[in-house]
């Protein structure tokens, strides 16, 4: 497995917080299986689709709170604190009481990555509640793999305007999820 040869998560998030999108993508891709393993270990009884909702909600929280990681602090306690908080919180909001402890993370780090379950209806419903232009931007970049300049060209927007709209759309998605479960 190449995991040990990959750059440490610290390096990735440090670069990401300075604006490196490629490092940020690698960071999120690397932490997704960890979050998924914790969610499944704790809430597997609720089905893989609910677990995947929890994974996505946790990723959105990491996105929103990445400024709170201090570059001179170890990354894992920070990451695990966010994951534990969001996993417990989102399962509770769905009526399930779960408890996450540090052993779950040891298991998660050792686990083989599990596949992403099929398309999530929830997330699609949430995107549909964005304004049409924001929804198009999120779909184009997320599903079609378009770049920000490409989206700008196809929608007749400047790159900066696409970035701002994407940023707002992600924040809105996070708050829509909170509203939905509360």
Partner 1 sequence: MRTEALVRAMAADAGPVRPMWRALLAAVLAATVAAGGLFLLAIGPRPDLGAALMRPDPALKQLFVVASALAAFGASLRLARPEVAAPGGWGWALLAAPALAVAAFWATAAGTPVALWPTRVAGHGILPCFAGIGAIGLPILVATLGALRRGAPARPGLAGAVGGLLAGSAGACVYALYCTDDSPMFWGVWYAVALLAMTATGWLLGRRVLRW
The answer to whether residues 51 and 39 touch, using CB atoms and an 8 Å cutoff, is: yes
Judged by CB under 8 A, the chain residues 144 through 173 that form the site for partner 1 are 145, 147-148, 163, 166-167, 169-170
Grouping H, G, I as helix, E, B as strand and the rest as coil, residue 73 is coil
180 binds partner 1 (CB under 8 A): no
The contact pattern for partner 1, residues 37-76, with x = CB under 8 A and - = no contact, is ---------------x--xx--xxx-xxxxxxxx--x---
Residue 16 backbone zone (phi > 0: left; psi -120 to 50: alpha; other: beta): alpha
CA 115, 182, 99, 79 torsion: positive or negative? positive
156, burial (CB in 10 Å: exposed 0-12, middle 13-18, buried 19+): exposed
104 binds partner 1 (CB under 8 A): no
Which residue ranges make up the site for partner 1 (CB under 8 A)? 16-25, 28-29, 32, 36, 52, 55-56, 59-61, 63-70, 73, 77-78, 80-82, 85, 116, 118-120, 123-124, 127, 138-139, 141-143, 145, 147-148, 163, 166-167, 169-170
């Amino acid at each position: 497995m190449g995991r040990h040869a990959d750059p440490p998560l610290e390096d990735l998030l440090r670069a990401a917080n300075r604006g490196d999108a490629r490092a940020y993508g690698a960071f999120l891709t690397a932490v997704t299986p960890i979050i998924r393993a914790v969610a499944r270990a704790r809430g597997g009884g609720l089905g893989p689709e609910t677990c995947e909702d929890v994974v996505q909600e946790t990723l959105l929280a990491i996105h929103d709170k990445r400024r709170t990681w201090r570059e001179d602090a170890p990354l894992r306690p920070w990451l695990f604190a966010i994951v534990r908080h969001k996993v417990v919180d989102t399962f509770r909001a769905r009526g399930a009481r779960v408890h996450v402890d540090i052993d779950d993370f040891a298991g998660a780090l050792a686990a083989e990555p599990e596949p992403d379950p099929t398309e999530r209806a929830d997330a699609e419903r949430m995107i549909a509640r964005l304004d049409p232009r924001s929804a198009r931007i999120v779909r184009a970049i997320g599903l079609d793999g378009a770049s920000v300049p490409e989206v700008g060209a196809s929608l007749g927007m400047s790159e900066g305007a696409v970035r701002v709209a994407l940023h707002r759309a992600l924040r809105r998605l996070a708050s829509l999820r909170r509203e939905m479960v509360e």
